[in-house]
Amino acid sequence: MELNILTLSYLIGSITFILGLKMLSNPASARKGNLVAAGGMTIAILATIFLYEEDGEKLHNYGWIFGGIAIGTLIGFLAAKRVKMTAMPEMVSLFNGMGGACAMLISIVEFNHFYEHLRPYLEIGLTEAENFAFGSETSLQGSGAQLALHLVIILAGLVIGTVSFAGSIIAWGKLNGRVKDFAFRGQHIFNIVLLLIIIGLSVYMVYHTSRFEFPSFYEEESVTANTWLPSSFKYIFYGILVLSALYGIFFVLPIGGADMPVVISLLNSFTGVAAACGGFLYDNKVMLTGGILVGAAGTLLTILMCKAMNRSLANVLIGSFGGGAKAGGGAAKEQGAYKEISLSDAAVVMTYANKVFIVPGYGLAVAQAQHICHELEKLLESKGVEVKYAIHPVAGRMPGHMNVLLAEADVPYEKLLEMEHANEEFPTTDVVLVLGANDVVNPAAKTDPSSPIYGMPILDVELAKNVIVNKRSMKPGYAGIENDLFFQPRTSMLFGDAKKVLQDLVAEIKNL
């Protein structure tokens, strides 16, 4: 009966994961979807703690289990409660890294069990072998192929989880400024060689395990070469662990801030796959379902992010676009002069417009200006102006960063237009206010084949009648190139911190 209840709990958990993921596809239901999935996970965790049995024994040490849950819950709650919106990408990366670390630790624990069961059959030397009772009992049974499959899952969880953990920690450090972009000549070749060594060592372990056979008799004569495994197994395993951590570090180090949305979603998919490996190991359906969903969603999101930049995943990982070295983009060209606009003139232009689009970027998040931006939106609407937001898929430092930013300020979801829909409306727009966005509105992506962002789909803000760009200075964005938009005749620059500028703009409009 308890087994049936446990199975039912896992089924409920799996269904809530699927429903929650479905609800996350719509901003209006995303919050509820999160709660639904979290409820299913709670049911699965409690059912495992109280109902799971192995060899007739239930889990014990409840003090340690619930102590760990309590500490983790408290840390997670406080971290999420206190995090600033600018730090949201790094928190997501850090939490994702913790998921990879869990998968890594699961693989380590399971390998130690695997190793202890097979330790009597390692190449321990002739003297010790003569004194060994061949054919002694072991709880790990099965053919060499079955043991090899078990080891494959352990190694897959170890490698993928470790890469996800190490890579996510580096991404976290890069996003908060603690880790700088780093690359050296031949680094990509170094990474490939490192990966091949990891794969080679894993294949070596799996190959020897697949040829293993448990001794059938107590007589020493029955012991053949296939009943022994290399004594270096444990050292090789931990060598793979270290190499995987190094690979995760050097995998992310050269990738710059502009590509962080892709990196975060890719590492997220890694964590999901590693968690699915844990589900295989424990024959845990809810863990398997959750891991597959996270892995598949992360992979699809990675593909969408790459498509939004018109680049392949290999180009993102190898090209180091947005990194410290910068991709170049050809020689600098004469852009001419830009023109500035005063706060009072900007207030007049926006107040007497019919339609205004706001394009949020990372600068808006840095300034923590989402609330005053929403106030500007409501003020303009009270004067009969239609206000909408244009959202680029890779704006910010994580997938959906701008959506989350504006949702925090209670901006209605229906006002957030995706790039394709926004581009259709720009020709009939009177004013576009660009707040902290740079590369995602750069026309060079369409006109300059030498530009590193050439071919990247952008927001066609230059088609509007007037474009007002708010920036702190004329410094280039993460792509390291000048923005052609700033020098176009319809564009005016409004310099200053986004929050201060918007506050002053709101005050000016109220005085009109």
Residue 128 confidence (pLDDT) above 90: no
Q: Which of 259, 439, 460, 484 is catalytic?
A: 439
pLDDT at 305: 81
181 is catalytic: no
Q: Which of 8-22, 135-149, 172-186 has the lowest mean pLDDT?
A: 135-149
Residue 511 confidence (pLDDT) above 80: yes
Three-state SS for 463-494 is: HCCEEEEEECCCCCCCCCCCCHHHHCCCEEEE
pLDDT at 25: 78
Mean pLDDT of the chain: 84
Q: Give the span between the Cα atoms of 191 and 250, in whole angstroms.
A: 7
- Given pLDDT bands bounded at 50, 70 and 90, which one contains residue 318? low
Residue 479 confidence (pLDDT) above 60: no
Q: Which residues make Cβ contacts (< 8 Å) with residue 435, sequence separation at least 6?
A: 358, 359, 360, 361, 363, 364, 369, 373, 470, 498, 502
Residue 330 confidence (pLDDT) above 50: no
Q: Give the span between the Cα atoms of 433 and 27, in whole angstroms.
A: 23
- Give the tens place of pLDDT for each residue, 491-501: 999 999 999 99
What is the SS3 assignment for 236?
helix
Helix (H) and strand (E) counts in the chain: 18, 8
CB 318 within 8 A of CB 470: no
- Give the tens place of pLDDT for each residue, 440-475: 898 988 888 877 778 888 999 999 999 999 988 777
pLDDT at 439: 84
CB 355 within 8 A of CB 425: yes
Span 189-200, mean pLDDT?
93
Q: Give the span between the Cα atoms of 512 and 504, in whole angstroms.
A: 13
Three-state SS for 160-227 is: HHHHHHHHHHHHHHHHCCCCCCCCCCCHHHHHHHHHHHHHHHHHHHHHHHHCCCCCCCCCHHHCCHHH
Which 8-state DSSP code applies to residue 240?
H
CA angle at residue 253 from 247 to 254, to 5 degrees? 115
Phi, psi (deg, nearest 5) at residue 87: -95, 0
Residue 328 confidence (pLDDT) above 50: no
Residue 182 backbone class (left: φ over 0; alpha: ψ -120 to 50; beta: rest):
beta
Output the CA torsion sign for 159, 294, 316, 400.
Answer: negative
DSSP percent split of the chain into helix, strand, coil, nearest 5: 65, 5, 30
- Given pLDDT bands bounded at 50, 70 and 90, which one contains residue 230? confident
Q: Which of 207-211, 225-229, 307-311, 361-365 has the lowest mean pLDDT?
A: 225-229
Whole-prediction pTM: 0.80
Residue 267 CB-density burial (10 A; 0-12 exposed, 13-18 middle, 19+ buried): buried
